[in-house]
Amino acid sequence: MDTEKMGAAARSAARILGVAGTAVKNKALDAMANALEANADSIIAANRTDLDNAKQNGMKDSLMDRLRLTPERIAGMADGVRQVAALADPVGEVIEGSVRPNGMKIQRVRVPLGVVGIIFEARPNVTSDAAALCLKSGNACILRGGKEAIHSNMAIADVLRQAVASAGLPADCIQLVSDTSRESANQMMRMNGYLDVLIPRGGAGLIKAVVRNSTVPVIETGVGNCHVYVDSTADTDMAANIIYNAKTSRPSVCNAIETILVHKDIAQKALPVIKARLDDKKVEIRGCERTAAILGECVIPATDEDYATEFLDYILACRVVDSLDEAIDHIAKYSTGHSECIVTSDYFSAEKFTSSVDSAAVYVNCSTRFTDGGEFGLGAEIGISTQKLHARGPMGIRQLTSSKFIIQGDGQIR
């Protein structure tokens, strides 16, 4: 990977894209969407190479399915790009402004970050999603996908680059790293001066490696050890409903829950109701002794490690707690700061939980599965930040921007 060449090309594309108007950017996005559909056959042909290789390498069926592109999925990618075109342009927004005592007018104005690097894993649709979000927010991007999807990603990137050029913007607004070696990822992590931010999208291993090794500023995304706390005053059916939804509607995603905490005063009544719902999906329960005393032998004893684990599976840890405070302490100890929920009818419990729990999204009486850019009304999302710097929670295109101060005077000196 020639990082200097790609970096310099991205920087120079970013300077043009950064001051491009919304109309031009939307024209490019429309061209991208149309080009994806027009070139569906060649993209699917490239995808077939990836699928053949995957099969030879013995990839699991579930992963093969994520890798597979069909005409419908490509149409879905094109629709995603059109949805990004329809979003309001964040660039140029005047965030705040004032006149200083000496007459200088100060404005803080939203500007693109510049060049965004994204390292992602198997799914090829990320290529078009990420490219579209970056382009709309005025950022050039350097994308590096997984080796499993390299033929698909290259075909998609080629199509998108041509479309961007046809709209009069530099093709280098979108660049894909063709080298999928570990070394190329490490090189991206050292592209200070070229990359303004690096966003890893994928499993915990990838994210950890990027956080540990990158000298470029990173936005940490995704890992979610999420909790539901069932307060003593909870509506039992609501609690069971929320827990069932948050655990089983899609167990493999980061906003699914991994542990429930149940107040001792309601445990006897609530746990059997919750268990009955979870039995529908054969959810394995790993519980504390008090959980086992109520639910019986089906409960596997929970270890400390269970409470710290993002199962991403039909497994749920369960602990009976003496108080709201104990629940809050448990969450402070084990949570990854993604999403937590309290089910309660009590005003003061709701207040205390939302004030004291320090996670990106804190829910009262609704499912943690809503932690998502689309569900929050931000439009498509580039990821869910679990760090506190820059962006926290679902990141839409506004989170792909920075700001600058513009100061107008008539000769002021200090």
The residues that touch a second copy, with contacts defined as CB under 8 A, are 15, 18-19, 98, 100, 104, 106, 111, 113-114, 192, 196-197, 211-212, 215, 217-219, 235, 238, 241-242, 244-246, 249, 332, 350, 354-356, 358-367, 369-371, 375-377, 387-390, 392-393, 402-414
Contact 260, 273 (CB under 8 A): no
Q: Give the residue among 44, 389, 23 at the shortest CA–CA distance from 221.
A: 389
Tell me the pairing of strands 94-99 and 105-112: antiparallel
Task: Work out how close the CB of 347 gets to a second copy at its nearest, in angstroms, rounded to a whole number.
Answer: 11
Q: Please, what is the minimum distance in Å from the beta carbon of residue 149 to a second copy?
A: 28
Q: What are the backbone angles phi and psi of residue 223, rounded to the nearest 5°?
A: -65, 125
| CB closer to a second copy out of 181 and 355 | 355
Q: Report the distance separating Cα 205 and Cα 192, nearest Å.
A: 22
CB of 222 to a second copy, least distance (A): 16
Specify the residue, 162 or 387, whose C-beta has the smaller distance to a second copy.
Answer: 387
Q: β-pairing, 226-230 with 257-263? A: parallel
Residue 312 Cβ vs a second copy, minimum distance, rounded to whole Å: 17
The answer to whether residues 188 and 108 touch, using CB atoms and an 8 Å cutoff, is no
**Exposed e or buried b for every residue in 106-117, given b needs 16+ CB within 10 A?**
eeebbbbbbbbb
Nearer to a second copy, 296 or 374 (CB): 374
Q: Which is nearer to a second copy, 41 or 329 (CB)?
A: 329
The terminus-to-terminus CA distance of the chain in angstroms comes to 48
Judged on CB neighbours under 10 Å (0-12, 13-18, 19+), 394 is: buried
- Rank residues 152 and 367 by Cβ distance to a second copy and give the closer one: 367
| Tokens coding 158 | 């080629």
**Who's near 238: CB < 8 A, 6+ residues apart?**
343, 365
Nearer to a second copy, 135 or 246 (CB): 246
Give the residue from 112, 107, 111, 105 showing the smallest Cα distance to 96: 107
| Of residues 80 and 112, the one with the C-beta less far from a second copy | 112
Shortest reach from residue 366's CB to a second copy, in Å:
3
309 versus 359: smaller Cβ distance to a second copy: 359
Residue 114 CB, nearest distance to a second copy (Å)? 6
Smallest gap from Cβ 399 to a second copy, in A, equals 10
Residue 72 CB, shortest distance to a second copy, in Å, is 23
- Which residues, at least 6 apart from 6, have a Cβ–Cβ distance to it below 8 Å? 142, 175, 177, 194
